[in-house]
Structure 1
Amino acid sequence: MKKRMIEMICPNCRHSFYILKDTMLLYEGKGTDHERLMNSEYFFHQCQKCLNLFEMNYPLLIRFTRKNLCLILSDSSQLPDLDNQTVIRTRKPADFELIYQALDLGITIKELVEIREECSRQDIGLKQLIDVDGSKILAMSTNGLIRINRVSSDLGRVDESNR
């Protein structure tokens, strides 16, 4: 793990402060960081001045050593040398958490793209992924919980019975 002090500014009151945050993690599949990423809470912070809850955007790299993969949140076009590892880069914290959840649940990037495209076609904002029993994915959306079958032929079809 690597940490560094990062300057943040509250978007509500413009209060400027420094916060110690991780910039590199190793995937373990457990622990506080894992739980916060799985619950889509990792990048949120409450301003101590105005108490506004806001999303922080700062560079973060997570190494999935068993998958030979790195997930990176960064605006920079230059990426570090990662020894022939597959790199997935995103610029938005919400996308980073969604990809992390997919990787943790064993959802392939292709499956995730199919899920997002189907949700987009149906005007459903995808927020979080939860695996129910290995064959179903519950997706938190802007419209509540939806169930998506994980089997490839049914992938992306929203089950209307659980809306």
Structure 2
Amino acid sequence: HEESVTQQHLQTVLLRHAVTGSRLSFYDTDGKIDSDKVQSMRLASDAGIEGMPVVGWFVARCDSSDSSSTTINSRHNLEPSLRDAAVHRGLNEDKAGRNDGQPIVLLMMSISLGDGASTQSVQYRCLRQPEKDSRHFTSLPLRIRNLTHDSLSEYKSFTPVPGGGSISPLSLGTCQES
């Protein structure tokens, strides 16, 4: 008896995003989701995202420490807090505008400023919870395709790639299996 193992690859392309305004705009201090607010953001006609499923959310943290400890703090900033975990779990359980059966992803970013804010470093991590009741997150591969290098330019400028986009606290898009 031979067992066949099939591996499924899920690719998410972010096309649009909704700006939630501020922290705690769609969840409370304990991380409990307000389904009505999530649904109203999704249906906001001025955001141009009507009918698009919620595929994830975004957390950004600024690291204002001195440059000698930036690496340690930035790594720490890419770990979900207890509230982040509660919000993530709530979004996975909430059915407002979701792709049925698709996991919600958490994109975490840490922004560090160099001496005098003359340089900026951005680190990011994309996560999901493999099991519904798990407190653990696993990293997902992430490819950002919104900038391309223009080698013909004297000053090495960047030009946008068609279909590239920006990311904000609640990202919306489409899921495709390949």
TM-score > 0.5, shorter chain as reference: no
TM bucket normalised to smaller:
under 0.3
Q: Indicate the structure (1 or 2) with the bigger Cα radius of gyration.
A: 2
Give the structure with the higher percent helix: 1
